[in-house]
Structure 1
Amino acid sequence: MTTEQKQLVTATVPVLREHGVLLTTHFYNRMFTHNPELKHVFNMGNQQNGKQQTALAMAVLAYAEHIDNPAVLMPVVDSIGHKHTSLDIRPEHYAIVGKHLLASISEVLGDAATPELLEAWAVAYQQLAAIMTGHEQHLYTKQVSKNAGWTGWKPFIVKQKIKESSEITSFYLYPADGGDVADFLPGQYISLRLFLPELNLLQPRQYSISCAPNGKYYRISVKREAGASHPDGLISNRLHDHIQEGDVVELSAPAGTFTLHENTSRPKVFISGGVGQTPLMAMLEELTAKQTDTAITWVHGCRNEAVHAFKDRLTQLADSYSNLNHHIFYDQPEIQAQYTGWVDLSKIKAAVLQADADYYICGPAPFIAKHYGFLVENGVDTASIHFEEFGPASLQLNN
């Protein structure tokens, strides 16, 4: 890009800050009108709730703000790249997206979208697409280099369907070809694709793998969402209500950057809310299976005992691993609880604040923001705090 083109892109930052979601909403409407086949690729639930439009607006803004040095965005590029490979996004998709994004800039900005500005954004987008497709090709290559690795969509059989609580059910997924499963890092997710009759679409959803790597199967633990038409629950509720043992589903290879760090000498503190414990459970099973003597603190919150998934599993792991301490909060306890109310780290400050600990937080965005804030306020280095927000990213806490 020329210096003048970078200046033109940078000049659009105030507009993107104020009207970014308007632009991305127009973009998605335009793209799905002209390329309806992409509705099978994108999560239409996130279109309904507006999360995808907001996430894209934030990404476009961040790119414009750092157009002089896009390398600083590599952690974001890595995270998005993992999400894209889990959805089988390929270089040809970038050409379609670029076409509609540039047209949307022209249509939304009107007379302000001069030929020079559009050309600057065209060059900027080509640069971004080259960065993304290059990184994603690297990720695809890593996938197929693994034993039993693959790219794209692969059939798996639901061999077990086990109810973990009144809301959460686990699905044990084995390759339909009878082979091994590719290894993964504890904390990663898989994409699962089903046909939704109510939308007449194939739809993908990401689910954390809730077990440690074992070479035989993946386990996902899925929460039923209230309301049959809840956009976030179209796939989840169909899994609960229609998918039975013996049925076949399609999966993409494990992906994700929220993973257990290999350094087992540092204490680990896991903080979760509701179904947010699923990636942390994979990490916990991995650590306890290795009997590393790593100090582990498990903090979890949910409504009550009835919805508390993996309660017995946690007790089992604590009995077999002496260096595991757990603190459970029920905000609507039906019987006496260990702690009553929402998760409050100040109540267990001595247990949580440990020298040189690694912290892993997973749950809804407000849950993450609250506990991240508590840790930072109490002197924890942000580099030691790792978090995963389910769905398109809206938190920017490590910036």
Structure 2
Amino acid sequence: MLSPTATEMIRATLPVVGAAIEDITTLFYRKMFAAHPELERDLFNRGNQKQGNQQKALAGAVAAFAALQLEPDQARVDLILSRIANKHASLGIEPAQYAIVHTHLFAAIAEVLGDAVTPEVAAAWDEVYWLMAQTLISMETGLYQAAGVAVGDVWRQVRVRDRRHESADTVSFVLASADGAPLPSFAPGQYLSVGVHLEDGARQIRQYSLSSAPSRDDWRITVKRVDARILANESVVPAGEVSNFLFHNVFEGDLLNVTTPFGDLVLHDDDAPLLLISAGIGCTPMMGMLSHLAETNDSRPVSVLHADRSPSNHAHRAELTELVERLPFAVMHRWYEDLGARRPEDGLRQGRADLGEITIAPGTRAYLCGPLPFMLGMREVLLAKDVAPENIHYEVFGPDSWATATV
């Protein structure tokens, strides 16, 4: 909890800092990477840095955390920090790295705001930063302990046991321990990080959901190759460095560096009806959940909703159908923008996902994964259908701006 003095100073300065926070975080990353180029090369996602996504996510998290110290809401704080802590654990972040962030973040604040940063203002925001940092350090320490690893010691080598095409631009990799030791278990819905060394010497890291059930003696991830594309505003989204490397270069027998699984999108162990909503490659955590439900003969009502560009683009399409058929009280609804020569039929529609005619049972837990605009739209409809906010769970691929968008 902030001291009374700091609370009042944050209340007075939050509008000014909040208005400049994206400029501050952009300058912060520039300063930090100039001083520590190894962080940009080997730890941070270079694609997100180029697009500005990481800067916006950090800005939103800091501003939201500060605002929530003025009007305390522990549930919202937990939502923001739990997601960050799991991401940090999956990268092997250590407490000492928070001091590096502090140095360059406060240098950026002083440079952007100039004389407005009095000693009193600096002290108040310093208190906010360390409150957020110490909370994250504590959460991350707990995650490392629960995973049975030392702080930051999350990396291991695995061998690719199998590689399979799941659609034209998507492959799955079945991963087994390189030394024959059992792989750690995980909760349905979690992810692991994959680190690869690219041609320029950089080690880039990405997270991929585990798309298999945790009862297996191996792990499976599914990777969609991301091509470069031009947006409506003519800006260019670069091709995915890691996804293309994995798609074109990794085959059976190869070794990969991956981490212990983490992630707070996990299937709750209760009897609540389930609603699994995904779009595109967002199907992967849902595949892990459905595999677990099928293998444990779960009898809960399950509604599976998936949206994609076309049946041929739908990764794990046939497997999804098989899993739903194995569950006694499961139904599936699919929407494709292009059905090709197929005609709409029961559970198969053309166009974008529409929950308007979907019946949602009281007490339903909803799990969402897909592009952020898709998930925010689904959330709005779910709330209108009286699904409790705390029963709406999600996973974001990339910097997380969901939590701050819903604060």
- Report TM bin, short chain: over 0.9
Are the counterparts in 1 of residues 159 and 255 from structure 2 also a CA contact under 8 Å?
Answer: yes
Quote the residue 1:34 is aligned against: 35
Deviations, residues 178-223 of structure 1 (Å, cap 9, x unaligned): 111111111111011001224x311110111111103421111111
Quote the residue 1:226 is aligned against: 227
Residue 349 of structure 1 pairs with residue 349 of structure 2: no
CA, structure 1 residues 177+38, in 2 after alignment: closer, same or farther (shift >3 Å)?
same
Residue 152 of structure 1 pairs with residue 158 of structure 2: no
Distance 1:204 1:26 in 2: 23
Quote the residue 2:49 is aligned against: 47
Distance 2:38 2:66 in 1: 29
TM-score, L = length of structure 1: 0.93
Of 258, 268, 272, the match for 1:261 = 268
Q: Gapped runs of 5+ residues in structure 2?
A: 230-235
Distance 1:125 1:374 in 2: 35
Distance 2:298 2:74 in 1: 37
User: Percent identity at matched positions?
Assistant: 35
User: Equivalences for 1:288-327 in 2 at 5 Å?
Assistant: 288-327=294-333
CA, structure 1 residues 117+17, in 2 after alignment: closer, same or farther (shift >3 Å)?
closer
Distance 1:70 1:92 in 2: 28
TM-score, L = length of structure 2: 0.91
Distance 1:27 1:97 in 2: 8
Root-mean-square deviation over aligned CA pairs: 2.1
Residue 119 of structure 1 pairs with residue 126 of structure 2: no
Quote the residue 1:394 is aligned against: 401
Which structure 1 residue ranges, 4+ long, deviate > 6 Å from structure 2? none
Number of matched residues?
Answer: 392
Are the counterparts in 2 of residues 46 and 232 from structure 1 also a CA contact under 8 Å?
Answer: no
Of 89, 95, 103, the match for 2:93 = 89
Deviations, residues 20-64 of structure 1 (Å, cap 9, x unaligned): 111100000000001111121111111111111011101110222
Residue 241 of structure 1 pairs with residue 248 of structure 2: yes
Are the counterparts in 2 of residues 288 and 317 from structure 1 also a CA contact under 8 Å?
Answer: yes
1:71 Cα deviation from its structure 2 partner: 4.8
1:5 Cα deviation from its structure 2 partner: 2.8
Deviations, residues 2-28 of structure 1 (Å, cap 9, x unaligned): 432332233231123322111100000
User: Equivalences for 1:362-381 in 2 at 5 Å?
Assistant: 362-381=369-388
Are the counterparts in 2 of residues 144 and 150 from structure 1 also a CA contact under 8 Å?
Answer: no
1:145 Cα deviation from its structure 2 partner: 6.7
SS for the counterpart of 2:176 is: strand
Residue 142 of structure 1 pairs with residue 146 of structure 2: yes
Distance 2:43 2:257 in 1: 13
Residue 110 of structure 1 pairs with residue 114 of structure 2: yes
Deviations, residues 260-308 of structure 1 (Å, cap 9, x unaligned): 1111x22211111000010011111111111122111111111111111
1:233 Cα deviation from its structure 2 partner: 1.1
Are the counterparts in 1 of residues 167 and 312 from structure 2 also a CA contact under 8 Å?
Answer: yes
SS for the counterpart of 1:66 is: helix
Quote the residue 2:279 is aligned against: 273
Amino acid in the other structure paired with 1:329: W
Distance 2:157 2:387 in 1: 43
CA, structure 1 residues 20+145, in 2 after alignment: closer, same or farther (shift >3 Å)?
closer
Deviations, residues 95-137 of structure 1 (Å, cap 9, x unaligned): 1001111111111111111122223322332232222212211
Distance 1:11 1:150 in 2: 37
Distance 1:242 1:362 in 2: 27
Distance 2:69 2:318 in 1: 51
